[in-house]
Amino acid sequence: MTEFKFPVRVYIEDTDAGGIVFYLNYLKYMERARTELLRSLGFDRQYICNATSMFVVHSSNTKYLAPAQLDDELWVTARVLVVRCASILFEQVVMRDDSPLCWSEIKVAHVDKSDLKPVAMRDDMVSRLKQYYLPTSLHAD
């Protein structure tokens, strides 16, 4: 398996005055998809937000390709491009039907809560994430 899919519906709170999804909400949709991917692998909130470590977004590269609108039914995908001991690089796409609306590469770091320095993920998380590897990137141009 190389892709995780998460459904999203666009509500009025997600849109601007013109009924178009506000650009920042695409990143929120992607955050939900990454969280649900981890949950599907058996890593719930207690694991992800434990007493000593946490995940933080390190960087993102996002391209907005077409607008989503009020009441659209969307899919948000999450693919793992790279897993290192203390970081994960995801490729994510927000889609309506078969049309990509927003594409992003998002690097998430696993850090120690006390000093925010990188700390290794558990081996079981790294091995489970590998089932979502995508051999080649689907960069949107």
Q: What is the pLDDT of residues 97-107, one digit of tens each?
A: 999 999 999 99
Please report whether residue 65 resides in a domain: yes
> What positions carry a catalytic annotation?
16
Please report whether residue 77 resides in a domain: yes
Please report whether residue 141 resides in a domain: no
Mean pLDDT, the chain, rounded, equals 89
Please report whether residue 140 resides in a domain: no
Q: Which residue has the higher pLDDT, 67 or 3?
A: 67
CA distance 60 to 89: 9
pLDDT, tens only, 6-61 = 999 999 999 999 999 999 999 999 999 999 998 888 887 777 666 788 899 999 99
Phi and psi of 125, rounded to 5°? -70, -45
- Domain span including residue 33: 4-132
Q: How high is the pLDDT of residue 77?
A: 96
Q: How high is the pLDDT of residue 49?
A: 67
Please report whether residue 60 resides in a domain: yes
Please report whether residue 50 resides in a domain: yes
* pTM of the predicted structure, to 2 decimals: 0.88
CATH number at 67 reads 3.10.129.10
Q: How high is the pLDDT of residue 141?
A: 43
**Domain count along the chain:** 1
Please report whether residue 92 resides in a domain: yes
Please report whether residue 126 resides in a domain: yes
